[in-house]
Structure 1
Amino acid sequence: MIRISLISILFSLSAMAQSEPFVLEATTDKNVFLFFPSPITKALPGNADFRFGYNQETAEKFGVLKAVGPRGESTLHVITDDQSVYSFVVRYNPNTSIFEYFFDGSESVGNIDKKQKPNSRDDISDSSIEGKKIIDSDYYGETDSKQTDFEFCKELLARKDFYKNFYKKQSDVVLRLTNIGYRKDKTFICLAIENNSTLDYDLNFIQFNKVAKKASRKSNYQAIEIKPIPNYSYQKFERVASMETKRAVYVFEKLSIDKNKLINIEINELKGERNIQLAVGDQFINNPNK
């Protein structure tokens, strides 16, 4: 059964071959990230000169390509959850300058007929063609896993805004929540500041507070500040020039809140009064998008 399933997939891949395959370049000392519109289910590298890692436990839309040694050329076929097939030629280049590839689906060479789809992800088990399960220490080392969080931040910002109309506005300055992600016990809050005014916006501070939903206006309610993990946030806000939009990701230890509480996000303008507060409820904080 394994042999029949494997032959079926390889036959389908050969039938979809491109006249001019997409060329990827990789090196031994840097990681090349491939981002797909659908989660990766299988990877079929041509030989052992290159490694392609992807998460087989929790399907994700990106994988990591790296050269094993300073040599060679190979092929790489990637099959995604929507049964799209991507075909690449992989070449070693120590001077490569491209470390992220984003695909929108148009690069696919075809789609596997559902009748040819294996019964399960484990049907293909030949270690000579199986993509390797991604482990942080394979590529980054045990003490440098923070880099994977930065790449996840970049992926979140590359996606389309998940929340289209979640914002507050003050004098032509807009604070917008665009997405909330979750990965490895960390919560990633994606924000955008749109400055539609003719005056630059300089940030004095951004603050995240946990507050009660129905705090009495006559009493001083307690706000508990929640601080991002030091040195983990990505593209933190400083200045947003006139008619400019900037995006940032703030990274926290895993966040969850009671249904009677909110996370209040406040931006405060330096030498100005265009201050904005944006309240985010438990239904968003407790249900992040992976």
Structure 2
Amino acid sequence: MKRFCIHTMLFFGAALCAYGQVDTIQVARDYKTMLVFPSPYDFAVNGKELNFLESFPLGSNSPTARNIVLLIYNDVAPDKNDYTNYTVYTKDGLAYDFILELVDIPEKKRWSITLPMADNKNQMVRSAMVRQSQENGFDEPMRTMENVDAPRHNFSTSSQIGELGNEGNKKDEEVSQPVTMELYQKDKKEYIRRRCFYNQFNKPKVARLFDRSGRVFLWLNGVYYDNNEIYLQFRIENKEPIDYDLNFLKFSIATNYRNSSSNQKLDHRPLFQYKVPKRIQGNSENHFIVVFEKFTLDRKKVLVVDMDEDKGNRNLSLPIDHYLINKPLSF
């Protein structure tokens, strides 16, 4: 038994010494470059997503199709030389880092991505070590390692924002861990928090939907759906020199003003709020995400976002139409 444990530790120790590598993927205008990952694609971070375009196989029910990403360069982009960073997260929580480079003809048009190329595989190996040790009765040393590496969280239970509470003052490095369905089933709060962390700075997906008071703007940047939750991504801009202190942020479902003479509002509490600011300093902006349990609206209803200024009158009210709520994007 001891010999088996020693061999296991040596195997995983060797794996921990390996590092993820960064490959340069050549992308062209007239050729599609194929990336085949060892597990299904989850989401990606693309430094120039308007230039380096990604797509996926269509019309296939094969499980392998979920592991494939197709890359091509935007034909209308004027650049002759271009490159950017590209990170792909797969469903198992692993991350793969690449550099995308514009070329005339790719030297390699099909890439088979392997597990050793993952940048964060050390975290997954540690988890495997913990499971292996516990299965063989060596609990305490591995529990110590697991407690050191586990992300920390401290959610409030404010009645104003639902059962999962508010994000609070947490550092980003405490959140930057894999996002998996296993985590969702085990710790839903932590799963949602990590989803918010990875997507808080997504490029706007909604065309110019905002409300303003003077030179203070509240923008809706995107509406996303994942598992059983709807994520609303916001940006607030304060282009005035005076700081904006937030009194409250309130959500309600209301009758569409255009379709009814009456205006009835029903409070709609979020499940979770991520980095909602208390103060927006002058000439600055903040990004935040608000998460709801899954819901839909009929064509006569809107979701209204009311933002009230403390000791001020720069109040904002942003109606979000039913078609945005009912047709969210996927992460």
Instruction: Note whether the superposition's TM-score is higher than 0.5.
Output: yes
Q: Determine whether 1:162 maps to 2:205.
A: yes
1:157 maps to a residue whose letter is Q
TM-score by length of 2: 0.51
Q: Which runs of 5+ in 2 are unaligned?
A: 1-19, 24-33, 46-66, 73-84, 88-93, 125-178
SS at match of 1:268: strand
Q: Which residue of 2 aligns with 1:201?
A: 244
Structure 2 Cα separation of the partners of residues 153 and 142 of structure 1: 17
Structure 2 Cα separation of the partners of residues 61 and 277 of structure 1: 32
Which one of the candidate residues 166, 180, 183 is aligned to 2:226?
A: 183
Would the alpha carbon gap of residues 100 and 164 (structure 1) be closer, same or farther in structure 2, given more than 3 Å must change? farther
Kindly provide the CA deviation profile for residues 29-75 of structure 1, in whole angstroms up to 9, marking residues without a partner as x.
Answer: xxxxxxxxxxx97435xxxxxxxxx5x3xx42259xxxxxxxxxxxx
Higher helix share: 2
Contact 2:229 2:293 in 1 (8 A): yes
TM-score by length of 1: 0.57
**CA apart distance, 1:243:** 0.5
Kindly provide the CA deviation profile for residues 137-169 of structure 1, in whole angstroms up to 9, marking residues without a partner as x.
Answer: 2xx484323222222212322321112411111
Would the alpha carbon gap of residues 100 and 60 (structure 1) be closer, same or farther in structure 2, given more than 3 Å must change? closer
Structure 2 Cα separation of the partners of residues 164 and 103 of structure 1: 30
Q: Determine whether 1:105 maps to 2:100.
A: yes
Q: Determine whether 1:241 maps to 2:281.
A: yes
Contact 1:234 1:250 in 2 (8 A): yes
Q: Which residue of 2 aligns with 1:224?
A: 266
Would the alpha carbon gap of residues 288 and 103 (structure 1) be closer, same or farther in structure 2, given more than 3 Å must change? farther
Contact 2:237 2:284 in 1 (8 A): yes
Higher strand share: 1
Q: Which residue of 1 aligns with 2:69?
A: 81
Contact 1:136 1:145 in 2 (8 A): no
Contact 1:21 1:87 in 2 (8 A): no
Would the alpha carbon gap of residues 271 and 103 (structure 1) be closer, same or farther in structure 2, given more than 3 Å must change? farther
2:70 maps to a residue whose letter is D
Structure 2 Cα separation of the partners of residues 201 and 249 of structure 1: 18
Q: How many residues align?
A: 200
2:42 maps to a residue whose letter is E
Q: Which runs of 5+ in 1 are unaligned?
A: 1-19, 24-39, 45-53, 64-78, 89-98, 119-123
Structure 1 Cα separation of the partners of residues 294 and 107 of structure 2: 38
Would the alpha carbon gap of residues 209 and 104 (structure 1) be closer, same or farther in structure 2, given more than 3 Å must change? farther
1:280 maps to a residue whose letter is I
Q: How does 1:116-155 map to 2 (within 5 A)?
A: 135-137=180-182, 140=183, 142-155=185-198
1:227 maps to a residue whose letter is R
Give RMSD over aligned pairs: 4.1
Structure 1 Cα separation of the partners of residues 190 and 238 of structure 2: 30
Contact 1:156 1:181 in 2 (8 A): no
Contact 2:211 2:219 in 1 (8 A): yes
Which one of the candidate residues 61, 78, 83 is aligned to 2:43?
A: 61
Q: Which residue of 1 aligns with 2:255?
A: 212
Would the alpha carbon gap of residues 160 and 135 (structure 1) be closer, same or farther in structure 2, given more than 3 Å must change? closer
Q: Which residue of 1 aligns with 2:310?
A: 270
